[in-house]
């Protein structure tokens, strides 16, 4: 079985290479989307992991932990860089409200769904139920804009404002999820030894904000001497690992910590353009590696996972549709945009996967592998369905 799977995957990857080497070879939309998002790298991870070739065994994985920390730090910084206040102000405030409203609705719908349903199917200890539900809800709230990027050229000049609105939402709606995901770290058993959640929360918030400020000052000090691009890259790598490591030691999310530092840099540093250029230069390799790291953690021993993934996907879809409907009725009713706006927000992608990696690194529960598997399957499903749903939405908005 392993050999057959390995052979199939190698043939598939060889085909990928062939396709990539002949760029004029135009694939159908579904396959194009599949390649753009790099989902095949999840399967590469699965092949390299303990289930098949075992090249990335558990010892190797722990040896590569600094690389995972770098990935989390890098993507966290990059995400923080999307929140440049000066640029965000160019958009109406109602856009921000819309992004947060639909993300919030999806988040809470999936949170309740996961919290009350999952324990019936998976053996989740009571102390881990909320952490698992928060993680799945946070991953569900995020939207990627790959589908939009691919689809927009097919709809030139039509409903420009609408696609701009969808892009805006998908680029920032992960914020709510990310901040609430940070809350999961307060629920760690080691943090909650002799204090309740509510008394731990303010202390954790103050410590994490204080430490993030110190790290931001540290980053800025390294930038004072106008480093050249090579030196700057080194500083960014070093700082990303230091921030991730500090967050792990102090029991808060590396992703959230680097997000805060990225947010500070983009709004206060004179070197923001250069740092952004360095961060974005290896954005795609970072995401592809991220997928390999997640693929390694796949556990598909039980068929229940497929069912649960479908259920999770459905909850998320319902959340996005309900969120989109609420946006068109409450936040931007005067625009008369289609009520099924949520169809354009199904793509899940990048940030959701980073949240899953953060969860995998920080919460090595017995159940973590299965939780990641069901979420990954749902992401694959979302990425498969989103081009079609998006096409329906864009056609309707044109009509």
Partner 1 sequence: MKRSRKSQTTPFKPYVLAFLLLSGLALWLQKVPLESSWQHAGMTDFSLGMVLLVAFVTGQTAKAIGLPMISGYIFAGIVAGPYVSGFLSAGMVDDLHLIDDLALSFIALTAGGSLHLDFLKKRVKAIALNVAAQTLAVFALVASFVYALAEQFAFTKNLSPVEVATLAILLGVVCIARSPSSTIAVISECGARGVFTETVLGVTVVIDVIIIILFTLALTVCEMLQSTIAAMDHTVFAALTAEIVASIVVGAIAGKGIALYIERIGHDLALFLLFFGFGVTRLSLWLNQFMQAQFQVALHLEPLLICMSAGLTVQNFSTTGGAFMESLHRLSPPIYVLFFSLAGSSLNLAALGQTWLLALCLATVRAAALFVGAWLAGTASRDRPLHNRLAWMGYLAQAGVSLGLAQLAAREFSVIGDYFCTIVLAVITLNQVLGPITLRCALNLTGEAPPGQRPA
Pairwise CA distance, residues 12 & 218, whole Å: 45
User: Long-range contacts for 239-243 (Cβ within 8 Å, ≥24 apart)?
Assistant: 239/73, 239/215, 240/69, 240/70, 240/73, 240/74, 240/76, 240/77, 241/66, 241/69, 241/70, 241/73, 242/215, 242/218, 243/73, 243/76, 243/212, 243/215
Q: Identify which of residues 188 and 316 has a Cβ nearer to partner 1 in the complex.
A: 188
Residue 211 CB coordination number (10 Å): 18
Q: How far is the CB of 233 from partner 1 (least distance, A)?
A: 6
Nearest Cα to Cα of residue 350 among 312, 317, 383: 383
CA–CA separation, 63 and 67 (whole Å): 9
What span, in angstroms and rounded, lies between the C-alpha atoms of 181 and 159?
34
The smaller minimum CB distance to partner 1, of residues 234 and 306, is found at 234
| Of 13, 29, 205, 282, the one binding partner 1 by CB under 8 A | 282
- Binding segment for partner 1 among 17-25, 118-126, 136-144, 148-156 (CB under 8 A)? 17-25
Question: Least separation, in Å, of the C-beta of 356 and partner 1?
Answer: 15
Binding mask 348-387 for partner 1 (x = CB under 8 A): -------------xxxx-----------------------
Site map (CB under 8 A) of partner 1, residues 62-101, x = contact: xxxxxx-x--------------------------------
Q: Is the dihedral of CA 139, 351, 41, 317 positive or negative?
A: positive
The reply on whether position 24 binds partner 1 by CB under 8 A is no
CB of 357 to partner 1, least distance (A): 13
- Which of 36, 122, 237, 310 touches partner 1 by CB under 8 A? 237
Which residue, 358 or 383, is less far from partner 1 as judged by CB?
Answer: 358
Sign of the alpha-carbon dihedral angle for 321, 109, 379, 332: positive
Query: Which residues are at the interface with partner 1 (CB under 8 A)?
Result: 17, 20-21, 55, 60, 62-67, 69, 188, 190, 214-215, 217-218, 221-222, 224-225, 230-231, 233-235, 237-251, 282, 284-285, 288-289, 361-364
């Amino acid at each position: 079985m392993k050999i057959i799977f390995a052979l199939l995957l190698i043939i598939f990857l060889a085909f990928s290479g062939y396709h990539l080497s002949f760029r004029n070879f135009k694939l159908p939309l579904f396959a194009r989307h599949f390649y753009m998002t790099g989902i095949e790298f999840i399967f590469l991870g699965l092949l390299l992991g303990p289930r098949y070739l075992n090249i990335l065994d558990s010892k190797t994985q722990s040896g590569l932990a600094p690389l995972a920390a770098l990935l989390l730090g890098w993507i966290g910084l990059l995400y923080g860089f999307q929140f440049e206040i000066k640029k965000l102000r160019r958009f109406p405030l109602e856009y921000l409200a819309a992004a947060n409203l639909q993300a919030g609705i999806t988040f809470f719908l999936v949170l309740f769904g996961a919290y009350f349903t999952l324990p019936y199917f998976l053996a989740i200890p009571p102390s881990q139920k909320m952490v698992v539900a928060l993680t799945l809800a946070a991953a569900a709230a995020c939207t990627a804009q790959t589908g939009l990027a691919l689809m927009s050229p097919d709809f030139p000049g039509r409903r420009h404002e609408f696609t701009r609105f969808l892009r805006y939402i998908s680029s920032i709606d992960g914020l709510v999820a990310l901040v609430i995901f940070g809350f999961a770290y307060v629920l760690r058993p080691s943090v909650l030894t002799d204090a309740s959640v509510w008394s731990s929360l303010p202390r954790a918030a103050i410590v994490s904000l204080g430490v993030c400020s110190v790290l931001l000052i540290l980053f800025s000090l390294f930038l004072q001497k106008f480093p050249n691009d090579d030196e700057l890259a080194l500083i960014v790598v070093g700082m990303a690992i230091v921030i991730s490591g500090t967050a792990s030691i102090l029991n808060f999310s590396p992703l959230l910590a680097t997000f805060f530092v990225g947010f500070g840099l983009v709004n206060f540093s004179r070197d923001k353009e250069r740092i952004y250029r360095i961060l974005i230069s290896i954005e795609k390799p970072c995401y592809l590696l991220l997928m390999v790291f997640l693929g390694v953690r796949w556990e598909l021993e039980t068929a229940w996972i497929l069912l649960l993934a479908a259920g999770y996907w459905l909850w998320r879809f319902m959340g996005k549709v309900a969120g989109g409907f609420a946006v068109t009725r409450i936040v931007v009713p005067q625009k008369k945009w289609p009520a099924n706006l949520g169809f354009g927000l199904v793509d899940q992608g990048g940030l959701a996967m980073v949240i899953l990696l953060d969860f995998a690194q920080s919460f090595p529960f017995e159940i973590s592998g299965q939780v990641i598997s069901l979420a990954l399957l749902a992401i694959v499903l979302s990425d498969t369905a989103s081009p079609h749903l998006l096409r329906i939405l864009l056609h309707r908005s044109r009509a």
